[in-house]
């Protein structure tokens, strides 16, 4: 359990170093896809590369982002965990703590780094590094940690799941305007676009087998826990016929599917249109067709595990031998398998205003996933925001926005750009839930680009 916990913890900690956080998109809470130009536009709707007001060329330089997100707010820590907090938890206290999780037990993280990206008229090229972690814990486990267990009661932990993959992808994006007579009568401009990605898997560093008696080393670009079976059982040791063995036992089994290498293709599609000078609409599908074939040194590790939580002989000096709880029962070669990357639908609408010498955009987006896996969720997400600048100081662009739905349920953001003739410095800040002690996480993204 300790080694597995370390593996999962490192995975999460590493993901705090970077994320899918373009500063120009983050500042408006990711609602301004139709205003993004050049290399910024590729990730959200490649069709906008075909708009006539797009850059003739652009290049970005290793945007840096930091994203730290927690399940609990600072209020919970101050009220229930801090040294001067109320550590005598009532039933209502435990309910308040669990309510912070919004019935969400998934822990999703994404390292997504643009190693290099540049655009030319109606085309763009990107080289991207990505690591995805999607981990879910059973509700019974979290409830048990807060509420404790009852005697002679069995608790099942069969819903635990973890999936991790590491890839690098080379992308080619293109867009073209549709100038058919019927289309031109309805829209001022109408563009279609796509991104084609070649995806190649990258192995992680070598790690020891969970079984300390095994000499196997695991080097995986992909691993997934499957067929999890586990339970916790507590015996009554207070009666005259109490057992002289384990009072608490955690026991079960699981499979660990691994692969050292794979490759695949991904296709993103998009359409975007300017209805008139002020209003634009767009539709895009990320991973419309996308998947990875895993073929190199595929293996399935089958583990049994057992942890004796309390021994009668150890009541005075409790020592848990966690390292010895795993037993490797079998390792088998696994044939080639395929992972489908979940698609996501995005709808965008932008409306431009001109109050006096100011330029104000109202930006909106709706995102819908179709599977609860690999960073996608079936919970719809709606974002709305603004982008503002003054005509007499058009080098300064301000953004702000809020998001409802998705995994976070609520977030807010703001940012700005210092946009000069051919250079832009961009900053975005995102906050999960309310600000101050009610916040559950903070993101910061900084980027720079040249354009012409």
* Secondary structure, 3-state, 113-153: EEEEEEEECCEEEEEEEEEEEEEECCHHHHHHHHHCCCCCC
Quote the pLDDT of residue 430. 87
Tokens of 123: 């085309």
Tokens of 373: 């896996």
Q: How confident is the model at residue 317 (pLDDT cuts 50, 70, 90)?
A: very low
The answer, yes or no, to whether residue 19 has pLDDT greater than 70, is no
Closest CA to 337 of 401, 258, 273: 258
The answer, yes or no, to whether residue 186 has pLDDT greater than 60, is yes
- Mean pLDDT across 139-143: 66
The answer, yes or no, to whether residue 419 has pLDDT greater than 90, is yes
Contact between residue 342 and residue 290 where contact means Cβ atoms under 8 Å apart:
no
The distance between the two most distant Cα atoms of the chain, rounded to a whole number of Å, is: 91
C-alpha distances out from residue 64 to 128, 167, 311, 426, 433, Å:
13, 19, 50, 11, 23
Helix axes 139-147, 91-99, angle to 10 degrees: 150
* Cross-strand bridge partners of residue 33: none
The answer, yes or no, to whether residue 82 has pLDDT greater than 60, is no
- Mean pLDDT across 346-370: 93
Computed over every residue of the chain, the mean pLDDT equals: 79
* 377 vs 215 pLDDT, higher one: 377
Quote the pLDDT of residue 203. 85
The answer, yes or no, to whether residue 15 has pLDDT greater than 50, is no
Quote the pLDDT of residue 8. 40
* 185 vs 285 pLDDT, higher one: 285
- Mean pLDDT across 271-277: 95
The answer, yes or no, to whether residue 338 has pLDDT greater than 70, is yes
Contact between residue 424 and residue 59 where contact means Cβ atoms under 8 Å apart:
no
Contact between residue 330 and residue 214 where contact means Cβ atoms under 8 Å apart:
no
Looking at residue 433, the DSSP 8-state letter turns out to be S
| Residue 68 to residue 51: CA distance in whole angstroms | 35
- Mean pLDDT across 34-62: 91
Contact between residue 15 and residue 109 where contact means Cβ atoms under 8 Å apart:
yes
Q: What digits encode the pLDDT tens for the residues 122-132?
A: 999 998 888 87
Q: Please report, for the chain, the start and end positions of each structural domain, with discontinuous segments joined by +.
A: 2-451
Q: Would you tell me how many other CB atoms lie within 10 Å of the CB of residue 227?
A: 12
The answer, yes or no, to whether residue 372 has pLDDT greater than 90, is no
Q: How confident is the model at residue 2 (pLDDT cuts 50, 70, 90)?
A: very low
* 280 vs 318 pLDDT, higher one: 280
């Amino acid at each position: 359990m300790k080694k597995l916990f370390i593996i999962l913890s490192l995975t999460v900690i590493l993901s705090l170093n970077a994320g899918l956080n373009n500063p120009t998109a983050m500042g408006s809470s990711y609602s301004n896809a139709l205003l993004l130009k050049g290399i910024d536009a590729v990730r959200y709707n490649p069709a906008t590369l075909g708009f006539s007001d797009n850059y003739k060329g652009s290049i970005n330089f290793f945007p840096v982002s930091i994203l730290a997100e927690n399940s609990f707010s600072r209020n919970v820590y101050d009220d229930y965990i801090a040294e001067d907090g109320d550590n005598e938890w009532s039933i209502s206290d435990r309910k308040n703590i669990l309510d912070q999780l919004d019935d969400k037990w998934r822990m999703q993280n994404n390292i997504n780094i643009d190693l290099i990206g540049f655009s030319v008229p109606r085309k763009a090229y990107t080289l991207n590094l990505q690591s995805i972690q999607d981990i879910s814990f059973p509700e019974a486990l979290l409830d048990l940690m807060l509420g404790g267990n009852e005697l002679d009661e069995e608790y099942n932990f069969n819903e635990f799941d973890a999936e991790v993959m590491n890839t690098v992808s080379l992308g080619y994006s293109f867009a073209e305007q549709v100038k058919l007579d019927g289309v031109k009568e309805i829209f001022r401009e109408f563009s279609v676009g796509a991104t084609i990605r070649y995806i190649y898997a990258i192995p992680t560093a070598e790690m020891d087998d969970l079984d300390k008696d095994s000499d196997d080393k695991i080097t995986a670009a992909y691993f997934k826990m499957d067929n999890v079976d586990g339970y916790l059982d507590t015996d009554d040791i207070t009666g005259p016929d109490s057992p002289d063995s384990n009072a608490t036992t955690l026991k079960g089994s699981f499979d660990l599917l691994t692969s050292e290498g794979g490759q695949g293709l991904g296709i993103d599609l998009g359409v975007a249109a300017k209805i008139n000078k002020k209003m634009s609409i767009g539709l895009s599908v990320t991973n419309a067709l996308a998947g990875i074939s895993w073929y190199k040194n595929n293996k399935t590790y089958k583990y049994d595990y057992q942890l004796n939580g309390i021994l009668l002989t150890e009541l005075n000096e409790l020592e848990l031998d966690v390292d010895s709880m795993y037993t490797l029962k079998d390792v088998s070669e696994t044939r080639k398998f395929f992972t489908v990357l979940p698609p996501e639908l995005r709808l965008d609408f932008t409306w431009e205003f001109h109050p006096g010498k100011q330029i104000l955009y109202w930006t909106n987006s709706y995102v819908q996933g179709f599977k609860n896996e690999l960073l996608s969720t079936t919970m719809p997400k709606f974002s709305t925001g603004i982008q503002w600048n003054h005509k007499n100081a058009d080098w300064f662009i301000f953004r702000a926005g809020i998001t409802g739905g998705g995994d976070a349920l609520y977030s807010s953001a703001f940012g700005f750009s210092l946009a000069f003739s051919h250079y832009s410095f961009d900053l975005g800040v995102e906050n999960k839930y309310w600000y101050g002690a009610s916040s559950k996480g903070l993101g910061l993204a900084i980027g720079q680009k040249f354009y012409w």
